Chain A
Amino acid sequence: MNAALAARLAEICGADNVISDPQQLRTYECDGLTSHRCSPGLAVLPRSAEQVAAIVRACAERHVPFVARGSGTGLSGGALPLADGVLIVMSTMRSVIAIDPASRRAIVEPGVTNLAVSKAAEPYGLFYAPDPSSQVVCSVGGNVAENSGGAHCLKHGFTVHHVTGLEIVTPEGELTWLGDGTGAAPGYDLVGAFTGSEGTLGIATKIVVRLTPIPEAVTTLLAAFTTMGAGGAAVSAIIGSGILPGAIEMMDALAIEAAEAAVSCRYPEGAGAVLIVELDGPAGDVEVQTAAVRDICTAAGAYEIRAAQDAAERAAIWTGRKSAFAAVGRISPAYIVQDGVVPRTALPAVLDRISELSAEHGIRVANVFHAGDGNLHPLVLFDDTVPGEQKAAEELSGLILDLCIEHGGSITGEHGVGVDKARYLPKMFGADDLDTMQLLRCAFDPAGLCNPGKVFPTPRLCGEVPGVRHGPHPLTATGLIDQF
């Protein structure tokens, strides 16, 4: 790697905060998607927005690509480093700068963890609503990059609904504000465009988030069904009744078996499916809706329903669900976590087809999903010590994405495209769609240095196209000449 660049970065951040030793760099070789690995050329740990801007300028001057990384929990390889690039590690910028309870806003640095924001807001009766399951460690900066969801986004929305302003370093190294924190700043909604752009439009250095009043009451129900079909019917009936729960989660028998093996969650015996329904809001509403959801589940064939009355009981119900991904490691040497979305009404058909595909390919698939918004997380199980199994599992995993697209859904609901799914993006969008999206990229990052190789399978060249006019001649625009 460029020694002059390393020296320049050391000037900016101090030598202690620049990592060039290959052994130490291996710490950063992957994010949560461990199947893709690459050690960065250099890693740097800035302490301030000004340092980030100076780092980016140093990279831009030398045409060296750079990637920002938060806590490294991403599941699509969005923070995968580049061997010839600089990795900018944001986890050292982790303070909650201010809480403004009357405005229901917090200003935070990007490295702060998702849960730390809610903890800081709690004394004011407020919380930060998006709650990805990695919220204990994942960073808000990473959440902004990925437009992260979580179990409760069914009711409360995604990261993009809760970010109202961003201080960013542009890919050319300029420090600027997008939006003003109000959520209604004049001009284009660049905050909305930036959120979910997977680190390709710049690096957030300050984030203004909306805070939400902590609901007065919360109840959590666990309903056990003998079949997935019955559980699915209950989901449709709940939504159809006009109730909007905070979360509706579902697990199938294999996922339950894994969770049982890992954390002894003690879900009802013999369940072919369990449904977790969480209701939040004013106490009176929650009480009425809880009764209604119980009735709906019973009518749909639930043979056991448990209700959590306090935080400890609630945690017990959620333990199985939240540990499900990791728990699958107890019943399979290796697995792929898939993330696809289908319209909620297509869930029964899609789940049936996944189970057929699983049988046809002789590969086990455990299903854990956000049933309320049709976001599936099929876990495709395989043994990585058996030659060919990984390839077969990847193939099945891809077929599940095809199935989602066939039903009018999406190849990713919350994990992002990253490096993992760039090749699937053309199945959802045509060449013109992808080309148009990249106009935004060209506006922010004309040199293509900011997290290149992510999201889009084929990068757009941002240079001027020969033969295309670009606006009136300057002299015409200023009224000095007329053009005929």
Chain B
Amino acid sequence: MPASFREVIETAQKEGAKRLAISFPGKKDIEILAEAAGAGLVIPCLVGDGNPIESMVSETSLKSLKHEIVEEKNQQKALGQAIRFVRDGRADMLMQGADTHQALMDAILDTKNGLRKGKLVSYISVFELPKQGKLFLVADTFINNSPTLAEKQMILDHAIRLAGILGIAAPKVAALAAIEQINLNIPSTLDAAILSKMSERKQFGSAVVEGPIDIDCALSEAPALRKGLRSAVTGKVDIYLVPEVDTGHLLAEALVFFGAMQAAGAVMGTTKPVILNIPFVSEANRMVEIAMAALMCKRGETNA
């Protein structure tokens, strides 16, 4: 089970290089891809305006590594082409290039030509916790604004699946809310309680979901005991399920900016892995995201 981002990359390297499609890559994208190709993780397929791409490639180690450049000067068409490559199996994964998040998401979610697998696509953040030698996940931190209970169930399924890909077989889940008691006026506490009950009935397999639970009890056993909360989850959380995106996005950012925690993440719910440009993920950690995408490919299907 990978205990660090370094180990995620090392595990993925054993799987052999995957074919990665990207439309309109920028200089930084190509530098990252050069590193990933050098590490044996990917064979990049660069779709876009050939001359500038070739020029950027020539300035990196990618020039002497296996790669492909596909000429398409129109950015929108290039994105469609890259997605088509992934759909048709010519590529194993898609990485965001110069396209905006909205343009990319619209293209991915397109029911006819996109990569959506199920009813919902989510983004799960993964953080490194060196002191405890483990990784933990926060779901959803980017895509779903105000998920309903049914959508939270799907997001949680995605997070549990990603945890499994990362070697966490029976994840401990904190369904977060402002308080640890059920308050009929606080919807997050009701959703968390229902998910917790579903977990008791094994509707999330071997995952253990505790909720509602506030962050202090989730993070540490001592405050939980002071509040009379005894649970296998307190202080040992693998997955934090947040109530909505205001909380998820800001929580992920807070861990990065105040805690200097290393963050990566994965899009879940697509037919093939998709790697987004998330601002609170550093350029260096996009290698980790590529590695996670490669591990998803190993499963044969990704994540919905």
Chain B associates with chain A: no
